Every structure is written in structure tokens, then in C-alpha cells.
Amino acid sequence: MTIIGGLLDTFMQKAAPERPPQGAGSFGGLFTGSSMTSQSTLANLNTYGAVPWLFAVVSRIATAVASVEWHLYQRAPNGEREEVTEHPLIELFEGANPFTSDFTFTETFQQHLELAGNAYWMLVGTAREPLELWPLRPDRVRAIPHPAEFIGGWEYVIGSLRLRLEPEEVVHLAMPSPLDPYIGMSPVRSLAVDLDAEKKAAQWSRNFYENGTTISGFIETDETWDDAQYERFLVHWKAEHRGVANAHKVAILEHAKFHEAKYTQRDMQFDATRRLTRDLVFGAYGIHPSIMGVSESVNRANAEAAEVHFARWLVKPRLVRIRGARNKVARIFDDKLEWDFDNPVPQDREHRLRMAEVGFDTKSLTLDERRALLDHDKIDGDGGDELPAAPAPLQLSAKAADDADIKPQPVDTQEDRVGTAWARRLRSEVDALVAYLEPFTGRRIRLNPKRFTEKIEIGDLDGYDWDWWAKYGKDVVAELTESFSLSMLAAVGSEVLTDEVQRVAGVYAEHRAAQLLQVTGDMNLASATRQRVRELVAQSITDGQSLGQLSRALREDFVFSRGRAERIARTETATALGQGQKQAAIHQGRDQKRWVSQGDDRVNQPICATNEAQGWVGVADAFQSGHDTIPGHVQCRCTVIYRTAPLPELTEGAAMRDVVTASFVAAAHEHDESVVNGNVLAEFRCPEDGLLLGKDVAVGTSFYCRKCKVERTA
């Protein structure tokens, strides 16, 4: 006799007691919501075979859940766990029962969950070692409430036979119902009316073709038929015009007229109705159309996003529910055993690319590790498993190390100061964020006041203060002002008053700091940080991590790292350097600029080489990359140099004048004087501020000085 046969014999010997009424003193009395009846549950199960899109969605989810691999682990006293490869528990779930494989077993009870909101496993065997697992039809199972233990048992109803099962003989999985804690509720419940309309629409379409397709109307006669005439006509009409094969045949009538009703399928808009039902099914289950093969408005990007969404928000939560049920069975064997599943969520390629880039920049990953993130094989030979040497400090200097005009030593020092300040800010920010999240733990579980939960939700982040302008704006403005001032003073020396430098630097620093820190800024660092934090919290929720694990993930992420602080410092120092040099050149009356790269083998950005090849351009013009000065990209090591354009060479037939030597012109420029050649000035500058007003100017010509706001006459 099989185990199931012996169990059924036992069932036959004991009848299930009546379900106790839900009165005072019992758990059932706490809940007054109406339960889903077995008839409605059975109707939901039958709908699976009656509505195609419901069948497709439930089948897709069930097979996806059943396809995931499971692993058994044993927990050690120190908290570590080791995988177990051989154990009766593994054999139990791999075999399920003599008539059902583990895949079919999982697929079956998952169908029950999706359609009825409930799934039941019956454990067959001894009290300490179940030997078989059987899925029970949810429409046949009843919970028996208990006044003190919540569940007093289960009854399984087959016709008039009611079988009693003890609480430990059944494992119940449910999609929680807001009305009754003893049973679950499936999405089908919310679709009941729409699914019924879908079935009627399908029946209408079938009858439309079965009863005559386009010949639809009524027949009129001028005389009254007796029964024999009516029956003879009806038989003739059905034989000649009923059914798809007779569609569109011409009707020939004797002593009668046919009137078409002109009531077509388009009038009823059944196609639109059925599409609406499809979309309602998709919405109720939260499934993307592309997962079901619907290609309307689908491209590669949103198709890949749909796969991630399907695995993360449909498959994985269902696996978490199943994991709890599996571990309930595991505790029968040993309370140190636990199940876990392979993560079904596809790798986020964009995230992996970002991690590879961070690993390269921070020298924290080996070459093989970075290649693995990009799905590449390890390199042949040595070096792939070694961390790269720490790079020399990046310099924004020119090709010659002693060229002080490119990046003065004070600016190098300022970069280190800014980097240290930003590292302190990021460390303070992550400490404050972790402290903010701590109160969300320790929330008591309602039905078990002795237990606490460490679950956090995305919405918990909404109250955190992300206003970096209020927190750090004053200090960042001071840093940027100092960086800009150092750069400008290094370029112009004592030619300009310190107060004027501070004024120009202050205007720049306020604008730049607002771009970096304000919510409406173009480069809002706080928004980028907040988005990354939300990603980490969402991943933590998906993986079921504790607050401690989330805290470690936050502290170890690049967004709060020293590497990011150095990148911000390097970029902002370079930007202040470029803008300071530009303002100095404008003050000196320079009218041309040129992009200069380091010229070594580390120049790998195309925009730098393209800008350098452009040569000299106007001081107010943009380079080909669109930048007006450095930096052209993150960690750019280039510089921009400025000059006053040389005089054009004189040709034969030109105006009679002497050629001004280069040395004389340079001396004149240095002393802010005009070069005179007869009645023509090689260049004319404002006598007050030295602004270049014109070249090859005839004596007596008037020019308007923008700085002085007055006219000057040559």
C-alpha cells in the first residue's frame, strides 16, 4: 500500500468536526469579513481555462517561479552558513511525490496561488520526517479556527466526504486578504466582472460565426405560415445559411423578404473590449506586455527593463513567500537548516559598467575583476589578478614641469584641501543618513510584540534632509572663491588689485556653488547622491537585507567614498583654474586662446586632442567640444593659454608705413602703449584700463570703451 493510500484509509476512519462558529473568545471572532466561498474559488480556477490572457499570465509566472534553483544551507553558531548537498529534505523537494516532479509540484501550487490566493501542501510521512508533498486543491480546503492556537486544523472536502488534517500536516501559502486572515485573495477576485465580460465576448464571437456571420436579420412574409411550413423553411434555412462554411451565401426566398439588421461586430467593438480585458489582466498582475510577447511600443531598452521588473517585482517576492514555507518544513528536520534561492533578477548591465569604471578610477579592482563585470574572459598571462599600482597624483600642469603659468603650486595645494573637505562632507552625510534610518528599525510586530522588524521602505527616505546648499553652501563658496583667486593672481601677478580679484572670484563662486548644491542646479550633487541611495535601499529591500547590511552598503559605495571626494575636488579646482585664467587674460586684453594637452600617453580623450588641433581661436569663442576653457572632462589635465594676436604681415601695395618689429610691439604691449606709424596706430588701447579698442587705427578715430563707458579718440 502506498503512503497516500494508507493516509486516505486513516482519513476514512475519522470525520472532521464541524467548523466552530466565529464567536467571542476565538481568533475567528476578531475578523468579521466574509470569506471567499469554495464555489467562487472553483470559479476562479475554472477561469484559468476560459480566458486566454489569464491563462498566459498565470502560466508565465508559474513556470518562471518553478524554474528557479534552490539550495539548502546549515547555519553555524557563528552565523555563517554552509551549503548542504545531500539530505532527506533535498530528496523530499526534488521528488515531491511518486506522481509529481518538483517542477510540476511548484507550478501547480503557484497556479493555485495566482488564481485562488491560496496554496496548500499536505505533508505525508512521519511526524519528524515527511516523505511526500502533495498540492491540495484550494477550493476543497477549509481552515478550522482555534480559540487559542489560531488554527485548530484543516478539513479537506471531496463531495460529501470531509477529511480532518492536523495543523502540522498542512503548509498554507496565501496572498493576504484584508477581509479574512484564514484565506488569501488573488488578483482574479478584482477581475471577476471583467473576466466574466471577456467570456461572454468570446461566446458572442463564437455564436457570431456559428449562426451565420454577416447574414443577420429577420424574415418577413405576407401570409401566415402553419407549423409545417415554418418547420420546412427553418430546416431549409439552417442547411443553406447557418455556419461559417455558408457565410455570405445569397439567400433565395419564396414568398418572403429578408431584412438585414446591420448589427456588426464593429458596432459592438468587441475587439477593443477584449484588448481592454487583456490590459486589465496585465495591470492586476503587474506584468509588462513585452513579457507576454506583446510587441506594441516595445524597444530593446524597455524590453530589458521589463525583464528586470518581472524578475524583481513578480518572481522574487513569490520566491520569498515560498522560502518561508520551505523553511517551515526544514525546521521539522533541523532548526539550523534553511532554504535559499538563486537570485532571478538579471544583472543590471549599466550598474556593472559603472562599477567597472569606478574600479578602474580607484584602482580597487584587478583587471580580471573588471573584465568579469563586463562579461569578458580573463586575460592570458600574468597581471590579470593583481591590483594596479596607485597612480601618481594627477597634475594639471603643462608639458614642462617648471612651467608655472599652467598650474601654480598654490592651486595644487588647494586641490588637496578641497578633496579633504569633500571627503569629510561625504563621511558626515553617510553617518547622518545611517543615523536617520535607525529609528525605522525596532518597530514592533503587531501580532508578536516580543519581535522587532528591521524592514525599511523606500518612502522612509522622504523625510531625510537633502538640502546640501543649506548644509555646505557657505563653506563650498569659500573654497571656490579661494581656488579662483589663486588661479587669477598666479596669472596676472600684481597687475590687479586683490579686492577686485576677490569680487570677481566671489561672483564666480556663488554661481558655481549653486550649480553644485542647489536643488535647481545644473550639477546637483545631492540629487545624484539621493538617487544612488534610493537604488541601494531598493536593492536592500529586494534582497531582504537588514539595516546593518544596508549601512555597510552605503558606507562602501563609491558615492560616499574618498575617490568621489577627490574627483569633485579635481574637477572643481580645474574649473576654477580655467575660469580664473580666462578672467586674467581678459583683464590683460588678450584676444586669442589655445587648448594645450599634456601630450603624453595618458591623453586618451578625443575632445582634448580635437581642441588642441584647432589651434588659436578668439578669446570669446568656444572650442570644438563646446567648452570655453578647461576642464573638458572629469580628470582633465589640459590647460588653456592666451595671447594677443600678432599683427598681420604687410603685402606689396599696402599702406605706406614701416613694419613694426615684434620686439617693439611686445614692449609696447607690456607698457600699455600704442604703436604709432605715421598717421596709423598699429593698435589703440584705452589710456585708463588698457582695453584693446582697435588695430591699424587712423589717428583721430573715436572708439567706445566698454569698461570706462566713454568714447576714446586715437
Q: What is the pLDDT of residues 475-504, one digit of tens each?
A: 888 888 888 877 776 666 544 556 677 778
Confidence of residue 545 (pLDDT cuts 50, 70, 90): confident
Angstrom distance (rounded) from CA 219 to CA 259: 6
Of the chain, the percentage scoring pLDDT greater than 70 comes to: 66
- Supply φ then ψ for residue 220, to 5 degrees: -120, 135
Flag whether pLDDT at 531 surpasses 70.
yes
Q: To 10 degrees, the CA torsion angle through 357, 361, 364, 369?
A: 30
Please give the average per-residue pLDDT across 411-421, as a whole number: 76
Please give the average per-residue pLDDT across 589-611, as a whole number: 72
- Answer positive or negative: Cα dihedral of 641, 644, 645, 651: negative
Q: What is the pLDDT of residue 563?
A: 86
- Supply φ then ψ for residue 234, to 5 degrees: -60, -45
**Residue that wins the pLDDT comparison between 586 and 87:** 87
Please give the average per-residue pLDDT across 301-307, as a whole number: 78
Chain-centre distance for alpha carbon 199: 37
Closest CA to 423 of 512, 323, 555, 329: 555
Flag whether pLDDT at 592 surpasses 80.
yes
Closest CA to 261 of 220, 224, 216, 301: 216
Of 247-251, 419-423, 439-443, where does the model show the most confidence?
419-423
Confidence of residue 535 (pLDDT cuts 50, 70, 90): confident
- Supply φ then ψ for residue 377, to 5 degrees: -75, 165
Q: What is the pLDDT of residue 562?
A: 87
Flag whether pLDDT at 225 surpasses 90.
no
Q: What is the pLDDT of residue 600?
A: 57
**Residue that wins the pLDDT comparison between 361 and 504:** 504
Flag whether pLDDT at 340 surpasses 70.
yes
Angstrom distance (rounded) from CA 454 to CA 327: 20
Judge whether 539 and 552 are in contact, CB under 8 Å: no
- In what helix (H) or strand (E) does residue 209 lie, and over which residues does it extend? helix 192-210
Please give the average per-residue pLDDT across 29-33, as a whole number: 39
- Supply φ then ψ for residue 181, to 5 degrees: -75, -10
**Residue that wins the pLDDT comparison between 589 and 451:** 589
Residue in the block written with cell 542646479: 521
Q: What is the pLDDT of residue 414?
A: 73
Please give the average per-residue pLDDT across 176-185, as a whole number: 89
Flag whether pLDDT at 443 surpasses 60.
no
Query: What is the chain's mean pLDDT, rounded?
Result: 74
Flag whether pLDDT at 20 surpasses 50.
no
pLDDT in tens, 364-389: 677 777 777 777 777 776 667 766 65
* Domain spans, the chain: 3-190, 409-578, 589-645, 662-713
Of the chain, the percentage scoring pLDDT greater than 90 comes to: 17
Confidence of residue 169 (pLDDT cuts 50, 70, 90): very high
Q: What is the pLDDT of residue 608?
A: 80
Flag whether pLDDT at 649 surpasses 70.
no
Angstrom distance (rounded) from CA 321 to CA 328: 11
Confidence of residue 671 (pLDDT cuts 50, 70, 90): very low
Flag whether pLDDT at 632 surpasses 50.
yes
- Answer positive or negative: Cα dihedral of 478, 480, 483, 484: negative
Q: What is the pLDDT of residue 143?
A: 92
Three-class secondary structure of residue 57 per DSSP: helix
Flag whether pLDDT at 508 surpasses 80.
yes
**Residue 562: all three cell numbers together:** 574618498
Please give the average per-residue pLDDT across 305-333, as a whole number: 92
Flag whether pLDDT at 17 surpasses 60.
no
Three-class secondary structure of residue 331 per DSSP: helix
Chain-centre distance for alpha carbon 506: 39
Please give the average per-residue pLDDT across 277-305, as a whole number: 81
